[in-house]
Amino acid sequence: MAHIVIIGAGIGGLPMAYEMRDAARAEDRITVISKDAKFHFVPSNPWVAVNWRQRADIEIDPSEVLARKQIDFIPTGARRVHPQENAVELEDGRKIEYDYLVIATGPKLAFDEVPGLGPHDGFTQSVCHVDHAVTSERAWQDFVKDPGPVVVGAVQGASCFGPAYEFAMILDADLRKRKIRDRVPMTFVTSEPYIGHLGLAGVGDSKGIMESAYRDRHIKWICNARVERIEDGMMHVIEHDDEGKEKRRHELPFKFSMMLPAFKGVDAVFGVEGLVNPRGFVLIDKYQRNPTHRNIFSVGVCVAIPPVEATPVPTGTPKTGYMIESMVTATAHNIRALIDGREPAETATWNAVCLADFGDTGAAFVAIPQIPPRNMNWFAQGKWVHLAKIGFEKYFLRKMRKGTTEPVYEKVVMNAIGIAKLKQPGG
């Protein structure tokens, strides 16, 4: 009997538990440890933040389905991973021993790196967690009663830019519906070197398309931006030139702001020797396996991947759903291989596929492989993306409720755009 422990029950962790159940032997034990008792579908948080969804619409309690699949569930946070002891210490002091560990904790949100950033001690909202989206929604309801300037974007070191673009467009669409868009000057502030860079050095003509969409919607932008500090109603931004030198200082008044933070690794692994890089992201080889602690694997946003290119203001590379899905499948097969005494052989497909909602329309991008030059570099927009995103949400939530393991991207998204078979060699 092998005991496989998964930390995290999010977009990576919960499918990981289901796929591991399918891949493991009947006698193997699987345990999921999660600090959140419920799963929530992170990509729908921006909709919760404008009351287009209720929290309950995008959350599920996984305890029943996990029990049915004979997977143990511990809804308690992990305090520390102890690789030397093959154990995870929980917040309540218990220690859970493992034969194989999968770390799927997502990121720690580094709000503390910019004074005044974030919904806890700062002055900006967030959509990274459903709790934040709920807080943001309350602020939005107050805002629309007495509107003013809006600032949306992503600070220095951020890697997940898509949701910032989505949220700016969703706010624009919501304001237009309310017929108060004319009272709201909007500015997009980003560490990216240009609009549509997305942490991926652009995808197709993402620059042209996104700039045009922003012009069309009267959203101004500041790129190469480092947010120096945020006060109540005022953001201090330093714009840089292409060489990273200070170019101009901006003082941006706002009545509502949502800024995505930089990510780092969670405290439970931060600083664990051989396990993580200096930012706390889990080091993995091409089999999702930690090179030092060989019975530890990792999937999702918490893995270490290098930036696609150096930018004047630091940016990171996004880890999106398709990539995460393929990391999960590879990990399940590789752990089974080790259980059977074989070497891991499965690798993830490091491709970026994303649907970004713009409220009533949307944009889809496919970057294969993620690092240019690429075999496929495709970016398109249209109303169909908005509808596809709703379909994707429903499909993913259904899959999580039922505990099934069919690959959503391979089956739905990639097939829909006719590229299911295009993979990297070895992928």
Residue ranges binding ligand FAD (CB under 6 A):
7-13, 33-36, 42-43, 45-46, 77-78, 104-106, 127-128, 160, 162-163, 266, 268, 300-302, 320-321, 324, 354-355
Ranked by CB distance to ligand FAD, the top (closest) residue is 10
Burial code of 59-77, b = ≥16 C-beta within 10 A, e = fewer?
bbebeebbeeeebebbebb
Distance CA 166, CA 154 (A): 12
Q: Among 128, 160, 223, 302, which one carries the catalytic annotation?
A: 160
Q: Among 128, 223, 302, 354, which one carries the catalytic annotation?
A: 354
Q: In this structure, are residues 401 and 60 in contact, taking their beta carbons and an 8 Å threshold?
A: yes
Closest to ligand FAD by CB, 225 vs 354, is: 354
Closest to ligand FAD by CB, 100 vs 312, is: 100
Cis geometry, peptide bond prior to residue 115 (ω within 30 degrees of 0): no
Per the annotation, the verdict on 223 as an active-site residue is no
Closest to ligand FAD by CB, 312 vs 332, is: 332
CB of 348 to ligand FAD, least distance (A): 13
Closest to ligand FAD by CB, 114 vs 240, is: 114
Backbone φ/ψ region at 183: left (φ over 0), alpha (ψ -120 to 50), beta = alpha
Q: In this structure, are residues 195 and 363 in contact, taking their beta carbons and an 8 Å threshold?
A: no
CB of 298 to ligand FAD, least distance (A): 9
Q: In this structure, are residues 333 and 347 in contact, taking their beta carbons and an 8 Å threshold?
A: no
Return the amino acid letter for 254.
F
Closest to ligand FAD by CB, 275 vs 312, is: 275
CB of 253 to ligand FAD, least distance (A): 25
Contacts of 315 (CB under 8 A, 6+ apart): 156, 157, 158, 159, 161, 191, 192, 193, 197, 199, 307
CB of 357 to ligand FAD, least distance (A): 7
Tokens 């706002």 found at:
254
State the number of CA atoms in the 13 A half-sphere of 117 facing the CB.
24
Distance CA 116, CA 120 (A): 9
Per the annotation, the verdict on 354 as an active-site residue is yes
Distance CA 87, CA 98 (A): 6
CB of 341 to ligand FAD, least distance (A): 29
Return the amino acid letter for 123.
F
Burial code of 177-207, b = ≥16 C-beta within 10 A, e = fewer?
eeeebeebbbbbbbbbbbbbbbbbbbbbebb
CB of 105 to ligand FAD, least distance (A): 4
Closest to ligand FAD by CB, 104 vs 308, is: 104
| Active-site amino acid positions | 160, 354
